[in-house]
Structure 1
Amino acid sequence: MTLVRRLLDQAARTPGAIALVSGDGTELTYGELRRRVLAVRHGLLAAGLAPGDGVLFSVRPSPESLVLALGVVAAGGVVVFADPGAGPEMFSARLRLARPRWSAAESMLYAGSRLRPVRAYARRRGLLLPNLADLEIPGEGPMRHIHVGRRLPGVPRDALSFQHLADGDAPDLVSAIDPDAPAAVIFTSGTTADPCAVVHTQASLAAALDLFRTRMPLGPGDVVHTDQLMLGLPALVAGARWSMPPLTGAPAGAARLMRERGATHTFCVPVHLGEILDASPDLPPTLRYVLLGAAPAPAAILRRAVAAAPSAEVLSVYAMTEILPVAIASAQEKLAHAARTAPGDLLGAPLPGVGARLADDGELLLSGPNLCRGYLGAGPVSELPTGDLARLDGGRLVLMGRKKDMLIRGKFNLYPGLYEPSIAALPGVAEAAIVGVPDAGTGDEEVVLAVVGPGDLPGRLRRSLPGVIDHDALPDRIVVLDELPRSGRTRKLDRDRLRELVTP
């Protein structure tokens, strides 16, 4: 059974229950969600969307974006996440590879990318927006368009209105959709010369939802507070309520909103949770699960999360765009691992059905029903080389570092991820990261440890580190920063920027 069919069937069973609560508090029942998805599907098919057509998706998380994405997939289309803010050259390279035939965007984005004053303002803010209204299918002609929100100057004249689609006829889904056909294309890394996009099917995404639910039970009455699609969808398939946070807002408002809506589950990027706890040290007592992911969870954040939600289970999720989730470890397990000063970051045991083995060089190789179909423009994959170095500890995965982050010190290969969790677990250390600064004179690298904490940390760490990490991994220099540089929506550590900050 496909992902969309499972959601529609659940909605048919509980049509009067609340399925979604938007950032502004607007509620959507399961029955209305089902009707809108079917209406969008019907409208797109009537407008000429063909099976396999890519739809460039530039709509922020909202009930409208969920309905539109599900309607596209239900019609046999493919949702393409290419990020129009990635820069003109990268965006163009991604379009050449994906060749979407449709563009779906918020009306404000159409206006902002076409009206000269708005484009100039965005450019001054460092955002180079493509002119979405003039996008073309390479070598064929103009794209078709769907706008979300009221029509504004800059929206193409012939663009379909999402609201009009959602208000249209909604015949039931009768034709079967191939669960192994592409459903989503997600651009990740890559360059303008060689962009990289992951292709997921309805089958791989459905398997991912099921794996989340094996570790995090969900059902009617539960409230999942998140803006993450891959956690909101399991809630809907299980008959729970998806609570969406506002698109913008102060950290203090996040805890308040979870409390008001009776959240039982929530997902945070670790650095975002830290900001929330700075503003509100206690999380709602209704929480049963606090999930952390998209970046490593430092020991200091884990301790604060456990203290803030003593009745909840705090879990750290290891996942990749290509295969998610892979493993889930509790805060207690991770903290106990760090307290033993054991090397590496504990990820937990692979979830049921996920295959994990180590290559000869220690690289983690993964497989399973939740593995993506492959990369756009390439053949199918049956096993994923992750680029992560790992070891097995009693059936549990322990992350030892990233292959590309390796530093060379004489004959010693230093993997920062092997030591950073143990350093971050030391008293007074909020965060820790190791980078190499090239030494032009020796060709070697100066090993610099950057930490967040009090100003006397360098002296204290000089005394304690020899008992925690290998002698050859001891830093040449320790730098205290107010915060570690981060980038992107998930606020991942920006090692290139960190290297710039600590270079004399």
Structure 2
Amino acid sequence: MTQLSLATVLAESARKYPDKLAVIDSATTERITYRDLWQQTLAYAGGLDINPGDVVAVQIPNLADFPRVYYAVLAAGGTIVPMHLLLTPEENAYVLKDSGAKMLVAHSSQLENAVAAAKLAGVPVVSVGPAVPGIQRLEDAPGKPLRTYVSREAEDVAVIFYTSGTTGKPKGALLTHLNLVMNTMVNVFDVHELYDDDVVMGCLPLFHTFGQTVGMNGTFRLGGTIVLMARFSGEAAIPLMVKENVTIFHGVPTMYIGLLEAAAKADTLPSLRICVSGGASLPVAVLEKFTETFHATIYEGYGLSETSPTATTNQPTFGAKPGTVGHPIWGVEVEIARAEVDERIELLDDGELGEIVIRGHNVFAGYLNNPGATAEAVVDGWFRTGDLGIKDADGFISIVDRKKDLVIRGGFNVYPREVEEALARHPAVQQVAVIGVPDPVHGEEICAVVVPGPGGVTAEELIEWSREKLGKHKYPRQIRFAETLPLGPSFKVLKRELRKTYGSGQQGG
């Protein structure tokens, strides 16, 4: 069997760039070189007292302790379960039990939630960060630092990502060392022109696959520097990026919207070279305004926890096309299949709407303890994404919507994304999400939940605006105003929450 460990990503950069800055932690002001980060990691690994293959859950914000613990678990031969920081103790206890975690390593800032969850699951807690009475600190654990990392096989599981349970309980997606090393390598060496003197903004949550693989692992593979930000806000991010000369920004659409709002009040803007957007659809209006304000191109990409994550992205080789998620990355095939046929994959021609399907080195090893869900998701060697899309004649993939977010109004299919794009262009709209709400006449009615800009706007104005831009069956008859949209741990808008809140279908304004 082929030996491969994701720990290599940090180990090799420590060998190649020992004196370079690996991490700048904006919360603790630590500045850590690759040599020191690897030494600290091996010391943590020595204190973990686990066997190869043991599962360790990790509950840590975007602080230097995240990479230290992450690579320590890998170096000790363990498998990591990154815990979302916004879930309840009950939700986290489910993940701890389902994954078979042997222990939970939590930062002292997260201990209240972590201890409650661990108690419910019957799992011990070890802390990192400032000491807390009565909790064993990993820094003080007995055990000698490891000399090097424990060897693993390429197909062993490195990380288990729990996917947001939009349909019932979250499922543990099994990602192998090979999946994650390959995705890290391809992101860094095949997609964009990246250099070892690049400084990357690390504000995406590291417990999420985008922040972890594309942000942290990618930066370390490259020998670059990552600037960690524990809590994102546009106001705080801009001066931090200016101060640390950040050149690369990875974010989700809500972050780009936040940066644009803050840019209006900022004296100086950072000189960004490359920006990458993923996690949700980026409205073209936001992309255009960002390019104009920051003079930087946003390359929109697409991926899922189950695909390590990157599957496609706009990339210089093929040119960038706003409103699309670009081309498949190296070694990965992305096609469109007939969405209504479940038991086999029937590929469609260019320009036809269907389900996006993916195969390649990035596709996961299945769902933990869930052969039924794995069999539904991986058919004929292709991973079915549950997203609807189109591939154009030039090979660009466009995502139309989630299969389950489709609204059927009076027998006509309406894709919320298209309605959102039209509304996002209204100058008074800061953010918008479109859902279907029950309707006695049409089955479902289109409802737009809008976060208005400071100037305000009326529901009538927005309905009129949409009516001019969209077909008769598509424009929203209902507009609801909200101060914020509910976001999941990975900053995606939670449409299921909006459906719960606004699903009663009364006219709102």
Counterpart of 2:20 in structure 1 is 17
Alignment partner for residue 296 of structure 1, among 281, 290, 303? 281
Deviation at residue 15 of structure 1 after TM alignment: 0.9
8 Å CA contact 1:265–1:290 kept in 2: the answer is: yes
Alignment partner for residue 325 of structure 1, among 299, 306, 310? 310
For 1:447-486, what aligned pairs fall within 5 Å after superposition?
447-451=446-450, 452=452, 454-455=456-457, 458-459=460-461, 462=464, 465-466=467-468, 468-475=469-476, 477-479=477-479, 481=481, 483=483, 485-486=485-486
Unmatched 5+ stretches in structure 2 = 204-210, 340-353
8 Å CA contact 2:14–2:35 kept in 1: the answer is: yes
Provide the rounded CA distance (Å) in 2 between the counterparts of 1:458 and 1:472: 17
Moved more, 285-294 or 20-29: 285-294
Deviation at residue 30 of structure 1 after TM alignment: 0.9
Evaluate the alpha carbon distance shift between residue 210 and residue 309 of structure 1 in structure 2; reply closer, same or farther with a 3 A threshold: same
Provide the rounded CA distance (Å) in 2 between the counterparts of 1:317 and 1:166: 44
Provide the rounded CA distance (Å) in 2 between the counterparts of 1:192 and 1:458: 34
Deviation at residue 335 of structure 1 after TM alignment: 9.8
8 Å CA contact 1:387–1:403 kept in 2: the answer is: yes
- Is the aligned partner of 1:436 residue 2:433? no
Evaluate the alpha carbon distance shift between residue 384 and residue 336 of structure 1 in structure 2; reply closer, same or farther with a 3 A threshold: closer
Deviation at residue 208 of structure 1 after TM alignment: 1.5
Match of 1:488, SS state, is: coil
Match of 1:473, SS state, is: coil
Provide the rounded CA distance (Å) in 2 between the counterparts of 1:492 and 1:85: 13
Moved more, 229-238 or 372-381: 372-381
Counterpart AA for 2:481:
L
Match of 1:322, SS state, is: helix
Counterpart of 2:349 in structure 1 is none
Deviations 1:193-250 (A, max 9, x none): 74311111111111221232222232221111113222122111111111112x2475
Deviation at residue 431 of structure 1 after TM alignment: 3.9
8 Å CA contact 1:36–1:167 kept in 2: the answer is: no
Moved more, 94-103 or 430-439: 430-439
Deviations 1:51-102 (A, max 9, x none): 2111121111211121111110121111112447533543333333211111
Match of 2:447, SS state, is: strand
For 1:68-467, what aligned pairs fall within 5 Å after superposition?
68-83=69-84, 85-110=86-111, 112-113=112-113, 131-132=116-117, 134=119, 136=121, 143-155=123-135, 159=136, 161-164=137-140, 168-173=144-149, 175-190=150-165, 194-213=169-188, 214-227=190-203, 228-230=211-213, 231-245=215-229, 247-248=230-231, 251-281=234-264, 284-310=269-295, 312-323=296-307, 324-329=309-314, 345-361=323-339, 362-379=354-371, 381=378, 382-394=381-393, 395-425=395-425, 429-439=429-439, 441-442=440-441, 444-451=443-450, 452=452, 454-455=456-457, 458-459=460-461, 462=464, 465-466=467-468
8 Å CA contact 1:300–1:431 kept in 2: the answer is: no
8 Å CA contact 2:86–2:489 kept in 1: the answer is: no
Deviations 1:390-421 (A, max 9, x none): 11112111111111112222222222224432
- Is the aligned partner of 1:31 residue 2:6? no
Deviation at residue 480 of structure 1 after TM alignment: 6.1
Provide the rounded CA distance (Å) in 2 between the counterparts of 1:192 and 1:154: 38
Counterpart of 1:119 in structure 2 is none
Query: CA-atom RMSD, angstroms?
Result: 3.0
Evaluate the alpha carbon distance shift between residue 416 and residue 483 of structure 1 in structure 2; reply closer, same or farther with a 3 A threshold: same
Deviations 1:246-269 (A, max 9, x none): x24753221111111111111222
Provide the rounded CA distance (Å) in 2 between the counterparts of 1:443 and 1:435: 14
Evaluate the alpha carbon distance shift between residue 429 and residue 108 of structure 1 in structure 2; reply closer, same or farther with a 3 A threshold: closer
Evaluate the alpha carbon distance shift between residue 144 and residue 409 of structure 1 in structure 2; reply closer, same or farther with a 3 A threshold: closer
* TM-score of the aligned structures, taking structure 1 as reference length: 0.82
Counterpart of 1:124 in structure 2 is none
8 Å CA contact 1:39–1:166 kept in 2: the answer is: no
Deviation at residue 448 of structure 1 after TM alignment: 2.4
8 Å CA contact 2:10–2:71 kept in 1: the answer is: no
* TM-score of the aligned structures, taking structure 2 as reference length: 0.82
Provide the rounded CA distance (Å) in 1 between the counterparts of 2:86 and 2:246: 32
8 Å CA contact 1:291–1:315 kept in 2: the answer is: yes
Match of 1:257, SS state, is: helix
8 Å CA contact 1:357–1:365 kept in 2: the answer is: yes
Match of 2:279, SS state, is: coil
Provide the rounded CA distance (Å) in 1 between the counterparts of 2:270 and 2:367: 42
Equivalent residue pairs, number: 462
Provide the rounded CA distance (Å) in 1 between the counterparts of 2:446 and 2:68: 49
Counterpart AA for 1:287:
L
Evaluate the alpha carbon distance shift between residue 6 and residue 434 of structure 1 in structure 2; reply closer, same or farther with a 3 A threshold: closer
Provide the rounded CA distance (Å) in 1 between the counterparts of 2:36 and 2:447: 55
Counterpart AA for 1:217:
E
Counterpart of 1:489 in structure 2 is 489
Counterpart AA for 2:127:
H
Match of 1:37, SS state, is: helix
Evaluate the alpha carbon distance shift between residue 423 and residue 347 of structure 1 in structure 2; reply closer, same or farther with a 3 A threshold: farther
Counterpart of 1:65 in structure 2 is 66
Counterpart AA for 1:53:
D
Deviation at residue 383 of structure 1 after TM alignment: 2.4
8 Å CA contact 1:300–1:430 kept in 2: the answer is: no
Evaluate the alpha carbon distance shift between residue 98 and residue 490 of structure 1 in structure 2; reply closer, same or farther with a 3 A threshold: closer
Evaluate the alpha carbon distance shift between residue 420 and residue 280 of structure 1 in structure 2; reply closer, same or farther with a 3 A threshold: closer
8 Å CA contact 2:449–2:482 kept in 1: the answer is: no
8 Å CA contact 1:39–1:171 kept in 2: the answer is: no
Deviations 1:352-399 (A, max 9, x none): 222112221311111221122211113565422111111111211111
Counterpart AA for 2:246:
A
Evaluate the alpha carbon distance shift between residue 253 and residue 83 of structure 1 in structure 2; reply closer, same or farther with a 3 A threshold: closer
Evaluate the alpha carbon distance shift between residue 417 and residue 199 of structure 1 in structure 2; reply closer, same or farther with a 3 A threshold: same
Evaluate the alpha carbon distance shift between residue 167 and residue 216 of structure 1 in structure 2; reply closer, same or farther with a 3 A threshold: farther
Match of 2:160, SS state, is: strand
Counterpart AA for 1:360:
R
Provide the rounded CA distance (Å) in 1 between the counterparts of 2:90 and 2:167: 6
Provide the rounded CA distance (Å) in 1 between the counterparts of 2:66 and 2:16: 23
Counterpart AA for 1:186:
F
Evaluate the alpha carbon distance shift between residue 168 and residue 251 of structure 1 in structure 2; reply closer, same or farther with a 3 A threshold: farther
Evaluate the alpha carbon distance shift between residue 284 and residue 88 of structure 1 in structure 2; reply closer, same or farther with a 3 A threshold: closer
Counterpart AA for 1:177:
R
Match of 1:358, SS state, is: strand
Provide the rounded CA distance (Å) in 2 between the counterparts of 1:97 and 1:284: 45
Provide the rounded CA distance (Å) in 2 between the counterparts of 1:61 and 1:457: 39
Provide the rounded CA distance (Å) in 2 between the counterparts of 1:80 and 1:498: 29
